[in-house]
Amino acid sequence: MSRDLEDQILEAHAQHDQMSLVTLYQKAGRIAEQDGDIDAACFFWTHAYVFALEQAHPARDDLHARLVTYGRET
């Protein structure tokens, strides 16, 4: 994950901006997946999924499906 993305995530946490956290953790997960680090990708997607559930974010179903694909959720 880039330092810029990490800073954005930290700032979103500081601002309690859960909608942005969904998007940012999704992005971090996609980057980790592209880099072949599935454990890291699922770590980020789990965070995104939790925030998505709390906010009834439209990405929650996609995040759940990704976690199921990699055996992290049923």
* Gap between the Cα atoms of 39 and 46, Å rounded: 10
Q: What angle do CA 48, 18, 39 make, to 5 degrees?
A: 20
Domain boundaries, the chain: 3-69
Q: Quote the pTM value.
A: 0.94
pLDDT at residue 20, rounded to an integer = 97
Mean pLDDT in runs of 10 for the chain (74 residues)?
A: 95 97 98 97 97 96 96 89
Q: Where are the beta strands (DSSP E) in 1-74?
A: none
